[in-house]
Amino acid sequence: LSSSSSSSFKEVQSLHQGRKQNLTFSSNDVHWHPLHANSDLLASAATNSTVVVWNLASKLHKHQQCLLQQHRRSVNRVRWHPSEPNLLLSASQDGTAMLWDIREKGGSKITFQEHARHALDAQWCPHMITNLAVSYDDGSLRVWDARMYQTPKHRIEAHFEPVWCLDW
């Protein structure tokens, strides 16, 4: 982790653990927890299909709070839920978006998947807290309700090229 000012840039804390390194440290995305009470939590989307939750307040040398490993390909995006402190959303090259409850060790709570295209981004709706959107490399978007996750609420064929990012 780094800190910058107008005249300097320095490392504040290293998350590396010992000499042995692996792809859990190679990340496509990171997201700080948005709630003040959990501001020491950070999620990262690793290129080895792992979602890592880091607890920077941990007194142990190991800052990894949990490894979430149900994706089968590289994870592209992680997003904390804006009001539910234990819910984390991820989107992966395997075509899935997963909703994780970090209190449950090792398993996703819900998997959102309709087709086999790469999921590039996932974002929570700020106005309807159970809704989320996922973008895909075929130019499409899906809007899901986490309470009724078997099929998307909306399918939007928006572009001819990949939708790399989205926002509400």
| Cα–Cα distance measured from residue 75 to residue 66, given in angstroms and rounded to the nearest whole number | 15
Give the CA angle between residues 4, 47, 70 to the nearest 5°: 125
Lowest-pLDDT choice from 7-11, 28-32, 156-160: 7-11
| Cα–Cα distance measured from residue 143 to residue 149, given in angstroms and rounded to the nearest whole number | 10
| Cα–Cα distance measured from residue 28 to residue 74, given in angstroms and rounded to the nearest whole number | 8
Q: Which residue has the higher pLDDT, 16 or 142?
A: 142
pLDDT digits (tens, 9 = 90+) for 19-54: 555 556 688 999 999 998 888 999 999 999 999 999
Distances in whole angstroms, Cα of residue 2 to Cα of each of 19, 46, 67: 20, 19, 23
The pLDDT value recorded for residue 73 is 94
Neighbours of 14 (CB within 10 A): 8
pLDDT digits (tens, 9 = 90+) for 99-129: 999 998 777 789 999 877 999 999 999 999 9
